[in-house]
Amino acid sequence: MYIKNIKLGHATNSSSSHSFIFMNNDEYITDDYEEQIFDIIKELESNRKCPNISVDTTFAKRYEDKLKELGIPKYLYHIEEGKYSLYIDGVEDKYGSSSYHLDTLKSFGDNIYNVDLEEIYKSVEIV
């Protein structure tokens, strides 16, 4: 199988914790893949077949030591939600640092169609 893209993530909510990997946009391995994914990446890299790899902030925070061990430069990932991103919930008219922190979302207020996104972004708590 030719692997062009890998997306690594880790989602946690109040009732469960779920790791996931998408290879070529198809869910490929779930839960308990943590150790094997790093071995897969090392093998692909050693064969010069390493695809584009993207990780979400939660995954990067959880496995920062492994990313450093693999020699991934710090400028290619970040570990703080909301530092370079903004989550917008258009259904609930709320915003915040990420969808992982729903308890910290703020309301757009009465005039959602006339907001200053720069001010909104500055008001987001970095988590």
28 shares its domain with 63: yes
- Asked whether residue 9 falls in the same domain as residue 66, the answer is yes
Task: Choose between 42 and 101: higher pLDDT.
Answer: 101
- 60-96 pLDDT tens trace: 888 888 888 888 888 888 899 888 888 899 889 999 9
Question: Does residue 48 sit in the same domain as residue 96?
Answer: no
Q: What was the pLDDT predicted at 1?
A: 43
If pLDDT is split at 50, 70 and 90, which confidence band does 105 have?
Answer: very high
Its domain, for residue 116, covers: 87-122
Question: Is 127 part of any domain?
Answer: no
Q: Is residue 40 part of a domain?
A: yes
Which of 111 and 30 is assigned the larger pLDDT? 111
Query: In this structure, are 17 and 54 located in the same domain?
Result: yes
pLDDT single digits (tens) 13-67: 545 555 555 555 555 545 556 667 777 777 777 777 666 677 778 778 888 888 8
Q: Are residues 72 and 99 in the same domain?
A: no
Same domain (yes/no): 16, 61: yes
pLDDT confidence tier of residue 5, bands split at 50, 70 and 90: low
Q: Please indicate, yes or no, whether residues 43 and 68 belong to a single structural domain of this protein.
A: yes
End-to-end, the C-alpha distance of the chain in Å comes to: 38
The predicted pLDDT at position 12 comes to 55
Is residue 71 domain-shared with residue 91, that is, in the same domain?
Answer: no
- List 12's β-bridge partners, or say none: 17
Nearest alpha-carbon partner for 56 in 6, 8, 124:
8
- Mean pLDDT of the 98-127 span: 85
CA angle 15/18/23 to nearest 5° reads 160
Residue 94 shares a structural domain with residue 60: no
